[in-house]
Amino acid sequence: MPFIFPHGKFFDDLSLGMSAALIRTVTDDDIVKFAELTGDLNPVHLNEAYAESTPFGHRIAHGMFAAGLISAVLGTKLPGPGTIYLSQELKFRAPVYIGDTIVARVKVEELDDVKARARFSTTCTVADKVVIEGMALAMVPRRQQLA
């Protein structure tokens, strides 16, 4: 029996204003693994003594770690599996620290029926403070494409 891949919402199922979120608390292990995976060994992320000398006062998570949670929302929740992430604009507004709980949220803002693409507003918040905001563009499968 062939494996049937799960799919998220089809383009035809999307409507303006739909939203989804993912919640994650940042751990020291997350930061270390992200640094190892990407090679971004900036001491502001890994060395507390160094980080204390910066305006942040403590180690901070990589901005792209938090932004990666936006990709997770798009790829697993809305629209979900089958979505192709095409572009992302980001503005980093505030640091994220170890122990912070990030809420990554996407919201459908525009739908291009000709190209089956959706534009999303994207935000990451910590305790209701926006730490990242931007816009994403994704290609979303149509129902008949997978039939």
Between CA 30 and CA 43 the distance in angstroms is 15
Assess whether pLDDT exceeds 80 at residue 13.
Answer: yes
pTM: 0.89
User: pLDDT tens across 84-143, in order?
Assistant: 999 999 999 999 999 999 999 999 999 999 999 999 999 999 999 999 999 999 999 998
Between CA 10 and CA 145 the distance in angstroms is 9
Domain ranges of the chain: 11-145
CATH topology of domain 11-145: Thiol Ester Dehydrase; Chain A (3.10.129)
Neighbour tally for 138: CB within 10 Å: 24
